Every structure is written in C-alpha cells, then in structure tokens.
Structure 1
Amino acid sequence: MGRVSLAQAQENRRRVVATASRMFREKGTAVSVADLMKAAGLTHGGFYKQFASKEDLVDEAIAHAFAEQAAHSAVALEDHEAHEAARRTLIEDYLSVWHRDHAGEGCPVSGFAADLGREPDQAARARHVYIDGVRNRAARLATGDDDGMAQFCTMVGALVLARATRGNPLSEELLEAARTALTESGTGQSEPQQRTD
C-alpha cells in the first residue's frame, strides 16, 4: 500500500474535522474515534497520524463549526437590507423545527454546550472560540440598548428544551413561544400587560 500524498492527507484531515463537527453536535463528544473514522470513510488507525488526541480533534471540530457558521451568517446578513429583517430571519431559522431536528448542521453554541459544561478541561481548551461564538451570535440580535444576550439565551434554551421534548406537542409549543416572545416587541422583552379589572 503506497503512502498517502500530502494533498490527500490534508483532505482526509479536513473530512475528519468536518465529520467530527457534525457528529459531536448531534451525538456529543463521547462519540468513539472508531465510529467517527468510519463515518468519515477512513480507518481507525489513520486517526493518530492526523491528531495527537481526541481532545485536539474536539477543539478543531468546535473551531470548524463556528467558522462554518460565521461564513453562513455573513452571507445571510448581506441578503437583508435592514438589521431587523436579518434579526427576525435569524430567530425564525434558529427556532425552527428543521434546526431542532438537524443538530449536526446546527448552531455550535447549543450543540456543544452540554459537553463543554461537563468537561471542564475541554471547555478550558475551547473556551475562547466558544465565548467569541456566543458573543458574535448575541450581537446579531442586538437592538438599541439591548446587547442581544438575553435574546440569545432564550433562543438556545428553547432549542435545547425543544430537542429534549421532540415527539411531544410541547416541543413545537416551546419553539413557537420563544419565537413569539422575541419578535412581538422587537427585543424579546414582553410588553406590560394592561389590567382589565
């Protein structure tokens, strides 16, 4: 069996990182190296020729997910003339049934949150990429004096809960409730209720 060319080795590494990014968001970082390499169409033994450890791959997979998201976000923002239209589109897309059901292609903030919360060493390694990703996504929701952080927390929380309750009508209710709360007043802050008594 001949040696793999440099170009092929780089392509294999890219494929493993992209596959890991998707699988880790979908199934968590507990996915085995063997399953990951099989999904990438490569042999298990090839993993350690490419990566020093699984933790290194997790770091790269997180960075890849955020870079992929940033590229997609930039295109989406250029398609809208007004910030409010872009903000509403972001909310609608984020709190959609499609996003709920496609975690592997979805937001890395919600996709990696549980694993980073459980694995403090991994969180420390990936912290700067993750924190920047949270801040950048929240900034896209900012309106006036609102920095978008509470809005983004609402979106992530609703998505995580909707995924956990998938298969029950409550799942769609959670997505709809968050969409309504975030789009009714333009900032996610409820308007004061008028008393009728």
Structure 2
Amino acid sequence: MIHVIRKSTQDRPTPRKKEVTHDRIVEVASRAIRRGGYDGTSVADIMKEAGLTHGGFYAHFSSREAMLAEAADRAGAESVAAAASIAAAVPPEQALYAMLSAYLSKEHVLGTEKGCAMAALGSEMPRQAPEVRRAATRRIKEMIDLVARQSPDWGKPGAHERALVTVSAMVGTLVLARAVDDPQLSDALLDAALKQFAPTSD
C-alpha cells in the first residue's frame, strides 16, 4: 500500500498570517515615528521591535517610504478615532470642548508615542516622500472635518474656517507644551488654550 505524504498546510504561511504580521509592523512603525520622528525610524529597528528579521521586510513593503506612508496613515487614523470616540461619549453640545480637553491634557503631552501624529510629526512632513505626505494630509483633513461637525455653528458660513483655526491652535499648543522644559509653562499653555475654547453661557 502506498501512503501519500501530504505537506501540512501549517508549513506554509497563510494569507491571514501575513496580514497579521503586516499589521504588527505597521502598528510598531506608527508608534516609532511618533516617538522618534520619520528620520529617527529605521527599518531594522522596527522589524526588531516587531519581533521579526530585517530580511522579511520586503515581503510586506516595496520600500521604507511605503511603510512610512502606512504608518502615517495608521497614526493619523488613531488620532481621529480617539477624538471621535470622546465626542460620541458626551452630549452633542459638550463634544467639542470634551475633545479639546482630552487633546490639551497633561496626559497627551506625555503620551507622544500614542498621541497626535500631527503634533509629533508636522515639522518633518515637508521633507517626506509624496506618499507619506498624502497619507498624513488625508488624516489631517479628517480631523478638521470632525472638529467642524462638533461646532455649534456646523453647516453655517464660516464653520469650516473656524475648524481650521481650532485644529491649528490645538496642534500648535500641544507642540509648544511638549517643547518647553518648564512644566509650569507647559501647563499654562494648555490652560490658556482651553480657556479660549471654553463654552460661554448665554
């Protein structure tokens, strides 16, 4: 009797396993770029942190820039999702200020690795590859639209322009609060910005 020996399917990487590995690399990279910047993020370090060999990189990405574009997209998506979740958890009239309070918080100042990609990476964007800038820009537009939708005057003339100013103030304040080495000044920057956006009683 002849026995046919079939190679176990477990010996071959499944598409699902490749997707999981790919996702792990992108997740690690999205944290790494916020922690160390685009220029401070090497393929070797990311693969090592993901628990993978450097040689396996090109099975998932055509280039370092392709990986950075996905990482930028992931980081931006996480920022938008976090803000949207905060807005959804409170009454509509409180949504905008709730988002701002979370964004302009001490926890966010200290949480660079999982925080806003715009604040962590904005100054580096002009020097990045087009696909990286494109991914980041898409997520910045989403954040602006999200802020606009929470505004009391959403749908009226000028609402989108006010959202542009609000997001610019949010990101700029966070950048400065992280930049200074004076904790009191950092806190004062956050408090002053929040005061400007505090709801006014009619």
Task: Pick the TM interval, shorter chain.
Answer: 0.7 to 0.9
Instruction: Tell me the equivalent position of 1:99.
Output: 108
- Please say if 1:85 is aligned against 2:100: no
The 3 A distance-change label for structure 1 pair 137 and 162 is farther
Deviations 1:126-149 (A, max 9, x none): 355244234224324533244322
CA distance in 2, matches of 1:97, 1:137: 22
| Residue segments in structure 1 that go unaligned for 5+ positions in a row | 187-197
CA contact (8 A) 1:109 1:133 kept: no
| Residue segments in structure 2 that go unaligned for 5+ positions in a row | 1-10
Among 141, 145, 161, which residue is 2:176 paired with?
A: 161
- Please say if 1:113 is aligned against 2:116: no
Among 43, 50, 56, which residue is 2:60 paired with?
A: 50
The 3 A distance-change label for structure 1 pair 79 and 124 is closer
Moved more, 123-132 or 72-81: 123-132
The 3 A distance-change label for structure 1 pair 67 and 58 is same
CA contact (8 A) 2:76 2:136 kept: no
Instruction: Tell me the equivalent position of 1:16.
Output: 25
TM superposition shift of 1:86: 1.1
Instruction: Tell me the equivalent position of 1:183.
Output: 198
Q: TM-score, normalised by structure 1?
A: 0.81
Work out the number of aligned pairs and report it.
184
Instruction: Tell me the equivalent position of 1:190.
Output: none
CA contact (8 A) 2:173 2:193 kept: yes
The 3 A distance-change label for structure 1 pair 135 and 80 is same
What SS is found at the alignment partner of 2:198?
A: helix
What SS is found at the alignment partner of 2:62?
A: coil
TM superposition shift of 1:163: 0.8
Q: Which has the larger radius of gyration?
A: 2
The 3 A distance-change label for structure 1 pair 128 and 173 is closer
Instruction: Tell me the equivalent position of 1:174.
Output: 189
CA distance in 2, matches of 1:19, 1:74: 23
Alignment of 1:128-139 (within 5 A): 128-139=137-148
Sequence identity of aligned pairs in percent?
34
Moved more, 161-170 or 33-42: 161-170
Displacement over 4 Å in runs of 4+: none
TM superposition shift of 1:19: 1.0
TM superposition shift of 1:6: 2.2
The 3 A distance-change label for structure 1 pair 22 and 124 is closer
Q: TM-score, normalised by structure 2?
A: 0.79
What SS is found at the alignment partner of 2:151?
A: coil
Among 28, 32, 35, which residue is 1:26 paired with?
A: 35
